[in-house]
Chains A and B, each alone.
Chain A
Amino acid sequence: MNALDPAIPWMAGSILGFPVLTFLVLGLLALLARTPPERVVARSAGLTFGLSLLATLATFTTMELGRQTKLVLGFGPWFQVGGYDFEITLLLDRLSLPFLLLTSTAAWLIGVFSVRYLHRDPGFVRFFALLMLFACGMLLIVLAGNLDVLIVGWELVGLASSLLISFFHHRKEPVRNGLRAFVTYRICDMGLMGAAGLIHHYAHAASFGPAFEVGGDAGALAALPAHVAPWVGLLLVFAAMGKSAQVPFSGWLPRAMEGPTPSSAIFYGTLSIHAGSFLLLRAQPVLERAPAACILLVVIGLLTSVHGTMSGRVQADAKTSLAYASMCQVGLILVEIGLGLPRVAMVHLLGHACLRTVQFLRAPSLMQDLRRVEAAAGGPMGPTGQHIERLLPLRVQRFLYHLSVERGHLDTFLEMLLVQPFLRVGQALDGLEQRWLMLLSRKAGWLGRLGRAVVPAVLRERFKSLMAPRSAP
């Protein structure tokens, strides 16, 4: 114990507090008054992320110095329904601290980077508002002391992610792809909701215990009955599959490369892509008692990894190839979690996040880098893809290459088995509704009302005669 202990809650609280406050202030300003000028936004973003990082460092140092491995901060009950408690608690432990450091550093780094990168962009304020929202969400996930708080962060991250993919909303592709990511998230979020429901139902609370600690309070997740744990495990794995772009839900990740470069870096290189892994690391007590979920996780992770590396190998553009490289390693991280090696997974994750951030941010340098390497090597680098690829018979090569170019046809399968049937149902319902509405509103035509507003009533008859040629053949 040391003298700084009473300050820890304040420090830890302000890690999250600064971004939340800035987001609210900026958002309200933009919404109610007028869009704040770029310089104000840039300064406040730099300050916010800087202070948040400082608070993280201070918390980290204090806890390390005090050899404290665990800290629970309660902010009282959120609400209660019947016998179910929804608490707002933050948890700092051996799992969240490294992630906290990663999150704060990445947010600060990307913030500083983007101030310059997006300078004079018309969407500057929007970008920083979303980045701030994302930082809040990610910090909530990392600091969450129970599943309920985590869900809030999870949803914020998903929302910010989709909105940043469609950042350039004057083009249709970004909007379409943002929507795709959003829909994928929502579908997989049902897993999280389901898991939360089950946990609350059986444990009446959804608190996490500190990770990597034997004995002590293991949290509500450890208190689940044996027959429920496997189901919760499966649901959580399902939830993680969306954010981590696991097979078969991986199609959105390459499409997410529509946003500005720095947002691609922090989302799909550093943080958001690893949120699923973090969730499963948190849910370690459940996974330990859910062998089926672990097996599923290993299988899906391996499949994703193979899918990622194959599809990544044939991508000829910088960002998509990085997206698949990310997907591949995240698959391996999930395999490690499924195999019950959380510490390995954690180290892997941290290393991978740093590596990928660097690569995403430097993606525009690809040509310059390669030219420099070639100049140093004294000529072009040898061709790649000469090992396994060349040993296979040509027919198989073509088959695998095509499979990779088509990204394993995953999108086609999803489209066929999921999207189309769903749309058909929707269209049928829509048709019914249309007909019903027509029936109700036959007498009130809005066009008529509009006409009356502009043209004096007496002129309307003449107008009608003017319009007459339209209906004539």
Chain B
Amino acid sequence: MEVQRKVVDGGAHARLAEALGHAAHLLPAQGPIGVFIHHNTLHAWQHLPFEQAVEEAGQLFGAEPYLSKARYREEYRRGRIDASDLEDVLGPMAGQDTTAAAIDEWLVPGLLSRRELRRLMMLYPILEDPQSLAWRMHEQELTRQLQEDVPAEAKDRLLAATRAHLGALVDAGDLAAVGRLLTGEADPATADAGLRLALEIPLETEALRRALARDAEALATQALWVAASYPVVLRERARAAMQPAGRLRRHRDLLLAVTEEDIDDLVNPVLIRLMAAFLDQGVAYWPMPDREQGFYLAVRSLCMQGSALPVGWLRGLREELRDQTTRRLGAADVVLEILGDLGVPPEDWDEYVSAVMRGLPGWAGLMNRLEKDPSLAPHGVPPCSLVDFLAVRLIYTRCAIRDVARRHGLALGAPLHQLVERLLASPQMQDARAQHLGESYRLFRILQLAGVPGHEAARLPQSALGRILAEMDAFPEVERRRLWHLAYERHYRVQVLGALAQHGREGLAARAKGRTKAAPRFQLMFCVDEREESLRRHIEELGPDFETFGALGFFGVAVYFRGVDDAQPVPLCPVVVRPEHGVVDRPVEEDTLLKEKRHRMRRLWANLAHGAHVSSRAMVRGWLASFGFGVLSAVPLIMRVLSPRLAARMGEGLKARLLPAPRSELTLQREEEAVEASGGPGFAVGFKQEEKIERVARVLEDTGLVRDFGRLVVIIGHGSSSRNNPHESAYDCGACGGRRGKPNGRLFAQMANRPGVREGLRARGIDIPESTIFIGGYHDTCSDAIELDTHEVPATHAEDLAELRRALEQARRQNAHERCRRFEAAPLDLTPDEALAHVEARSEHLAEPRPEYGHATNAVCYIGRRELTRGLFFDRRAFLVSYDPTLDPDGHILARSLAGVVPVGVGISLEYYFSHVDNQVYGCGTKIQHNVTGLLGVMNGHASDLQTGLSWQMVEIHEPMRLLAVIETHPELLGAVVQRNAGLAELVRNRWLQVATVDPETREIQVLGADGFAPLVAPAAPLPVVPSSVDWYRGRREHLPLARIARALSEAPSGPLSTSSGRSVELQNERA
């Protein structure tokens, strides 16, 4: 439909586009969750320092920047943060150019220093809930006794001082002074009345003596309260706080404040329904008419010719739309018109448009994503455009504003654009609460905590009291939480770096003793994913025959891959990479018949399943379905709930019998320039010889695996399988773009086994002996199943293969065992076999909202030689990237590694950070109410905003901290490398991650601080040593500190492998 743009001021359109760009930038960047990509939730703030970003974004979104104070205090009590951490962060005055003297300045001479004030304000709640203060003071008699949490020595000091002072006054007969102290009244008669009222004692010597002996605490507290509540200085402060609040952002906020009616309650449900219908990927049976014309036009024609009733708040909507049609307005014209009508001046558009979008950030964000990249939608979407969304939202918003304003008599006889001024002037907005009581209480509380007796406080000049309050104001809540957060991070950082330093020193010592490493028999390369850390450790605990490496889980093979059973080729590589090659897993020719039968059967099943799905929801067909297979359908459900593993195994068995899989081969080789165009962008099928050499060489060089090859080298990709879980993809391999990296290991191994490729590698200085065989593999991080693609293993390696299988079989049991300690539903005394059964059931259970914990607990990223970390218990918290600095004098490999790993790691760490610190705003809430919408995302319940981020079940055990990247290199080299990559430099400069380096030779550790790198200062707590991982974690659920695992460092194999006859490692049906 051709829309003739009304000739309006072209500048306004440009201005609007600018405002839209600004708003779009602040929207969540999550695409459809079928393919979940971890990314920094506050990506739009990355140009700011981390702390500033979280605080500003927090204000904008009404979100928490850090954990709550209560939570940090709890961590302090647990010892997760200790006094030295607190001391460390309190040391320098943040943001102020002062020396150490400033922080130690006295506020109350001899009793309260600035440092002490800040320490107290962090450790104790001061005024958490001002609304209920008056009630609490009365109910808990806070003016008659000191609070329970006042530290003992402060309390003793305060009581003793008051007792002595008052006792002396009473003995001296100076009742006037006592009266002044306890009531603030100079006139004895008034003071007497006041004292009787407050403490039920008269102002008489004997009575006071008795009271001092019986309940000195009441007197002391009363004196302090009088001293704190009296000063005139408080009056000015209270008055200052009564200035009217600044301008609010949009009509909705103003109307809400004045009328207590939320126009979003009117607008959102309608808009959610329309957006869901418009973007739907195939849930609704009946697609929205006209949607190929875009959102605005579709909604316009729908509402104009639809069944709208001329009542309620939508009165006049149809006429409005008709008018827009006859004037042939486009979405942008409508937006401009409404902005004018509502009286929003162009200079406010940035903020206003952004605020309007934030009424439904999830939906607006999705619209924005799909506008930028329509290929994200699994089934293609109609043309999306943010301005369409804005137009429709504003049309409905204007209706709602008009309606609410009319019903509350706010808009009678005046144009709408004057509404804002009228609202701001209305009495409700001016009603800022007087704060006197709160101010007094704050003073009272802090003096109490510091143990300042009432008479001392009363003696202080007004200015000193004002100064204390000003100091308290200068240390606001968000600042306290920031320091807590720094202390929280510091504690873990010191722990990890201290352990690394010690482990490194001992490694050097061992090396100096002349122990040399023999070439291991098995080398296993895993994804850098921190979930593989434990598996690698358990494998290495089997003895020096085993060595592991870490590389990004697509192993340098960026491809579009189509498996035997796949409908579409999918890209398997980080999202920022667009593959140029494709590989198809093609059934071999002898099995063509088998393949066709399989496809026929599968298609039949698909049609039946889809038919049942559709018809059970229809009317007549639903009637037939209820009779036809209604009761029967409950049988598999009951089985699945009763025994998920058994049910899954029966299903697999049935499938294997009915649908034998054909043998297949990968279309790896490419001789001619064949380009397959199907499935999106064109790509070349297969790789040429030199392309293969390039890919294999690169990964081997990156990881430092260029000599001492073992007999078997296993390349293991990973993914995660779970049931009934819309966020399944969020558990898959981030380096494969939120997909399963099963084919990548296989592809890499097949390439590396080609004689031609080996020859080419030799020319590049990588000499792989004939006796080395590469094997592809796959690890399911949820069920801990491990598959190997063994069909290229010759008979000469049969024994090695058998040994490898036994090793993996044992390691995956141990891995399951270690993972189970985190699951509250798994008893702590499980055996490894039971643990394996437990995690297998988790991955198959329909009712399991936490099939695994995903990346929760990630905290460290180590880039360097495994030698330095082998035998360290990282508690599944470290991304481990293999990198050999000795091969990389100029840092070009490091540059590559950092560019690949850091954005992935930081994205994961920050997404977990934000989803944990504010699960409502940044995360997607609890899974148990999620409602899959349009195959695009989830809503909370029946009509809510689209929920972005991670669910609470995924992040509940996470410790929100910035990723600590430890890199084995020289600080200067690292600096140079980082400077060359703008994105990386921004992340490092703005401290979205913590950075430390380990010197490759001396293993000295340097930490990047505000003033550049500085040597690590850490207490040398000895690193615990245990024989094996299980000895360290057994019986414990919580986060564990690092430890040395002796078995992974020993020179001799650790006894025979258990030959438990579990499920075969090899699950995949491969060409024999």
Give residues in A with beta carbon < 8 Å to B: 105, 109, 112-121, 167-168, 171, 173-174, 177, 254-262, 305-306, 308-309, 312-325, 328-329, 332, 347-348, 350-355, 357-359, 361-371, 373-381, 383-385, 389, 394-395, 397-399, 401-406, 409, 412, 415-416, 450-451, 453-459, 463, 466-467, 469-470
Contact = CB atoms under 8 A, between A and B. Distances in A.
Contact of A313 (B273, B284, B605, B956): B284
B728 A317 contact: no
Contacts of A463: 436
B137 A412 contact: no
A158 B603 CA distance: 45
B637 A361 contact: yes
Given A313-B285, A401-B288, A416 B311 contact: yes
A357 B282 CA distance: 22
Interface string B846-861: 1111100000000000
Nearest to B33: A367
Contacts of A322: 617
A37 to B, nearest CB: 11
Interface string B1005-1024: 00000000000000000000
Contacts of A399: 305-307
A255 B610 CA distance: 27
Contact of A352 (B229, B630, B642): B630
20 contacts: A117-B848, A173-B944, A257-B941, A260-B928, A315-B284, A318-B283, A320-B931, A322-B617, A352-B622, A354-B631, A362-B846, A376-B602, A377-B602, A377-B610, A381-B606, A454-B143, A458-B194, A463-B436, A466-B235, A466-B434
A192 B736 CA distance: 60
A354 B633 contact: yes
B138 A109 contact: no
Given A305-B619, A457-B194, A113 B847 contact: yes
A350 B235 CA distance: 72
B845 interface: yes
- The 7 tightest CB contacts between A and B, nearest first, are A351-B630, A402-B306, A377-B606, A258-B941, A385-B286, A316-B280, A376-B606
A49 to B, nearest CB: 12
A374 B195 CA distance: 83
Given A118-B928, A318-B932, A380-B379, 13 more contacts: A309-B618, A319-B942, A325-B618, A325-B622, A351-B627, A351-B631, A355-B633, A373-B606, A379-B568, A403-B307, A454-B138, A458-B193, A463-B436
Contacts of B143: 454
Interface in B355-387: 378-379
A187 B416 CA distance: 40
B276 interface: yes
Contacts of B618: 309, 325, 328
A456 B437 CA distance: 13
Interface stretch (B471-479, B719-727, B1034-1042): B719-727
B929 interface: yes
Interface residues of B, number: 120
B766 interface: no
A326 to B, nearest CB: 9
A313 B289 CA distance: 13
B951 to A, nearest CB: 11
Interface string B392-432: 00000000000000000000000000000000000000000
B935 A312 contact: no
Interface string B116-137: 0000000000000000001101
B641 interface: yes
B184 interface: yes
A358 B184 CA distance: 73
A318 B943 CA distance: 11
B822 to A, nearest CB: 12
B164 interface: no
Contact of A457 (B193, B234, B279, B568): B193
B140 to A, nearest CB: 11
A117 B628 CA distance: 30
Max count, chain A CB within 10 A of own CB: residue among B288, B723, B848: B288
A235 B928 CA distance: 37
B308 interface: yes
Interface string B967-984: 000000000000000000
A455 B930 CA distance: 50
Interface of B: 33-34, 134-135, 137-138, 143, 183-185, 190-191, 193-195, 197-198, 229-230, 234-235, 238-239, 242, 273-274, 276-277, 279-280, 282-290, 301-303, 305-309, 311-312, 378-379, 434, 436-437, 565-568, 599, 602-603, 605-607, 609-610, 613-614, 616-619, 622-623, 625-634, 636-638, 641-642, 723-726, 728, 824-825, 845-850, 926-935, 939-944, 953, 956
B307 A402 contact: yes
Contact of A365 (B436, B642, B724): B724
A254 B942 contact: yes
A375 B566 contact: yes
A259 to B, nearest CB: 7
B824 A120 contact: yes
Q: Could you tell me the dominant secondary structure of chain A's interface residues? A: helix
A118 B849 CA distance: 8
Contacts of A167: 929
Contacts of A109: 637-638, 641
A371 B726 CA distance: 12
Nearest to B437: A454
Contacts of A117: 847-849, 928
Contacts of B929: 167-168, 258-261
Given A316-B276, A348-B623, A469-B242, A377 B190 contact: no
B622 A406 contact: no
B221 to A, nearest CB: 13
Contacts of A405: 273-274, 277, 302, 306
A394 B302 CA distance: 10
A120 B926 CA distance: 11
Given A113-B847, A401-B306, A406-B307, A456 B235 contact: no
B175 to A, nearest CB: 16
A358 B634 contact: yes
Contacts of B633: 354-355, 358
Residue from A255, A320, A376, A402 having most chain B Cβ neighbours under 10 A: A376
B928 to A, nearest CB: 4
Nearest to A113: B847
Given A399-B305, A412-B309, A362 B724 contact: yes
Given A309-B618, A325-B616, A401-B289, A366 B194 contact: no
Given A317-B939, A379-B567, A402 B303 contact: yes
A370 B609 CA distance: 9
Contacts of A412: 309, 311-312
A348 B436 contact: no
A351 B619 CA distance: 14
Contacts of A415: 312
A119 B825 CA distance: 8
A355 B616 contact: yes
Nearest to B314: A412
Contacts of B613: 369, 373
A354 B286 contact: no
Contacts of A325: 616-618, 622
A398 to B, nearest CB: 4
B626 A315 contact: no
Contacts of A323: 942
A466 B231 CA distance: 11
A362 B724 CA distance: 6
Contacts of B605: 376
Given A173-B941, A375-B567, A394 B637 contact: no
A320 B848 contact: no
A368 B849 CA distance: 15
A395 B305 contact: yes
Given A257-B942, A321-B283, A376-B606, A384 B614 contact: yes
